[in-house]
Amino acid sequence: MNYSGPIPEAEILDDLPDDEQEAPQEAPDAAACPVAVSLMSLARPPENDPGELIKNRFLCRGGGLLLVGPTGVGKSSLSMQIMIGLSLGKNVLGIEPARPLTSLLIQAENDEGDLAEFRDGTVAGMNLTESEKDTVGDRVIICTEDTRSGFEFCTAVVEPLLEKFRPDLLWIDPALAYIGGDSNFGKDVGGFLRQGLNPLIHRYGCAVVIIHHTAKPLRVTEGAKAGSQDFAYAGSGSAEWANWSRATLALDPVADGVFRLIARKRGSRLRWKDEAGESTVRRCIRHCREEGRVWWEEATEEEAGTAPVGGKAQKTMADLMDLVPLSRSISKTSLQEAAQVAGINEKRFRQLSALALEKRDLYEWSVKRINARPAVHLARFPQPAKGWPEEIEPEEAA
């Protein structure tokens, strides 16, 4: 009988000399196979999910939160205020814990005096009782470490502390002190986050909050508009920072001492409302008005420049900057077209772009074109003298 199908492998091997036949392959060990389950077997978490840390599942055990902002604006003091509030089960600037949470902070930037100032500002701002202060002392633990990084940091610092204190939240401040590599390279960032920290937070059942800085302030002028998706990628360096994180919070300066706190990634789960009662992923906050007190408080939309005054609000620098990518250039023509769609007329565009160039919020680039004069591009940072990183491509010249 003729057989037109493939020849069985066993028959092929039988025709080979003994010294050319491969030993039969052993079946893989079923016990070593990664766990996989049917899609339909997945269950929604219970109402009182023990894995939920920040409502409403904004952050859960095993997840990572990236808190980013410009250098020197108060990310460390904001983190301290959130830690203290969460330890008491209190809502802090719209961040509501599922229950009182314990925190372990590993930090490298602030000395003991700085940390005490942050603590005392929050204690005074929240008007904590002696009993509440004792509770905070039990639930917020601080370790200062400024000599180890990378894999050594994870194994010799993080893991022993997690084993001893078993916190709900691990805080790392700042990211660049501990990565032990180049924050611009996905391989280094991913190795630290995915191979270094992920196994530890899964093993000890906590979540991690990483404080990171932006390459430069996202805003330096008054006024602000709804942020773009770029805020999820506001952290300096590789996009892997944002890709890894389960949730993000970004501090966006909009006026002197006034900021928008932007929860771009999973922000809708926080269920924030603006002054009109509409859902939003932005919250206006500010430094304490009382001189000498380190404390963050709520701000109004008018203080942040987001509320119209006397009718229709004039478009601001922030409206224009919202249209400029964080990590690449954009042709001036394309930016002007986007500005027109956003309600910025030609005259206002010229005014704002000239001011942005003068203040060095924007930089002018010259991008070569084939058989044409170079195109004028704008970017948030100076044009590189040589080359361009492979992972960041400038927009095609218009």
pLDDT digits (tens, 9 = 90+) for 208-261: 999 998 865 444 333 334 344 455 555 567 889 989 999 999 999 988 899 999
For residue 88, the model assigns a pLDDT of 98
DSSP code of 309? S
Residue that is written with structure tokens 């002392």 in the block: 137
271 in the Ramachandran plot: left (φ > 0), alpha (ψ -120 to 50) or beta? left
For residue 304, the model assigns a pLDDT of 78
Amino acid (1-letter code) at residue 42? L
CB atoms near residue 151 (< 10 Å): 14
Mean pLDDT rounded to a whole number for the chain: 85
E-strand spans in 272-340?
272-273, 279-280, 282-287, 296-298, 330-331
For residue 174, the model assigns a pLDDT of 96
For residue 396, the model assigns a pLDDT of 47
Based on the number of CB atoms within 10 Å of its own CB, is 347 exposed (0-12), middle (13-18) or buried (19 or more)? exposed
Least confident range of 109-113, 278-282, 288-292, 383-387: 383-387
For residue 23, the model assigns a pLDDT of 61
Q: Tokens standing for 149?
A: 């990084």
Question: For the chain, what are the domain ranges?
Answer: 52-298, 317-379
For residue 205, the model assigns a pLDDT of 98
For residue 234, the model assigns a pLDDT of 57
The pLDDT-based confidence of 307 (bands split at 50, 70, 90) is low
Most confident of 198-202, 287-291, 390-394: 198-202
User: Looking at the predicted structure, is the pLDDT value of residue 95 above 90?
Assistant: yes
- Helices (H) then strands (E): counts for the chain: 12, 16
List Cβ<8 Å contacts ≥24 apart for 18-24.
Answer: none
For residue 20, the model assigns a pLDDT of 56
Enumerate the H helices of 149-238 as residue ranges: 150-152, 159-165, 186-190, 198-203
User: Looking at the predicted structure, is the pLDDT value of residue 286 above 70?
Assistant: yes
Q: Tokens standing for 297?
A: 């408080």
**In sequence order, which residues have a C-beta less than 8 Å from that of residue 148 and are 6 or more positions away?**
156, 157, 178
Q: How far, in Å, CA of 314 to CA of 222, rounded?
A: 12
94-to-59, 151, 272, 374 alpha-carbon distances in Å:
14, 35, 7, 48
The pLDDT-based confidence of 97 (bands split at 50, 70, 90) is very high
Instruction: Report yes or no: 330 and 378 within 8 Å, Cβ to Cβ.
Output: yes
62 in the Ramachandran plot: left (φ > 0), alpha (ψ -120 to 50) or beta? left
For residue 391, the model assigns a pLDDT of 36
* CATH number of the domain located at residue range(s) 317-379 in this protein: 1.10.10
Least confident range of 21-25, 106-110, 347-351: 21-25
The pLDDT-based confidence of 164 (bands split at 50, 70, 90) is very high
Q: Give the pLDDT confidence of 121-158 residue by residue, as tens digits.
A: 999 999 999 999 999 999 999 999 999 999 999 999 99
**In sequence order, which residues have a C-beta less than 8 Å from that of residue 379 and are 6 or more positions away?**
324, 325, 328, 329, 330, 362, 363, 365, 394
Q: What is the mean pLDDT of residues 356-361?
A: 85
CA angle 107, 250, 137 (to 5 degrees): 40
For residue 218, the model assigns a pLDDT of 45
Q: Give the pLDDT confidence of 22-57 residue by residue, as tens digits.
A: 666 676 776 789 999 999 999 999 988 999 999 999
Q: How far, in Å, CA of 41 to CA of 159, rounded?
A: 33
DSSP code of 385? S
Amino acid (1-letter code) at residue 36? A
Least confident range of 175-179, 194-198, 237-241, 384-388: 384-388
Q: How far, in Å, CA of 176 to CA of 93, rounded?
A: 26
* pLDDT over 70 percentage in the chain: 82
User: Looking at the predicted structure, is the pLDDT value of residue 12 above 70?
Assistant: no
For residue 216, the model assigns a pLDDT of 53
User: Looking at the predicted structure, is the pLDDT value of residue 341 above 70?
Assistant: yes
Least confident range of 98-107, 340-349, 385-394: 385-394
User: Looking at the predicted structure, is the pLDDT value of residue 201 above 70?
Assistant: yes
Q: What is the mean pLDDT of residues 62-69?
A: 96
Q: Do domains 52-298 and 317-379 have the same CATH topology?
A: no
Phi, psi at 282, each rounded to 5°: -125, 145
How much is the CA Rg of the chain, to the nearest whole Å?
A: 26
Least confident range of 89-93, 199-203, 236-240, 277-281: 236-240
For residue 16, the model assigns a pLDDT of 55
**In sequence order, which residues have a C-beta less than 8 Å from that of residue 167 and are 6 or more positions away?**
102, 103, 104, 141, 206
CATH superfamily entry for domain 52-298: P-loop containing nucleotide triphosphate hydrolases (3.40.50.300)
For residue 306, the model assigns a pLDDT of 62
The pLDDT-based confidence of 67 (bands split at 50, 70, 90) is very high
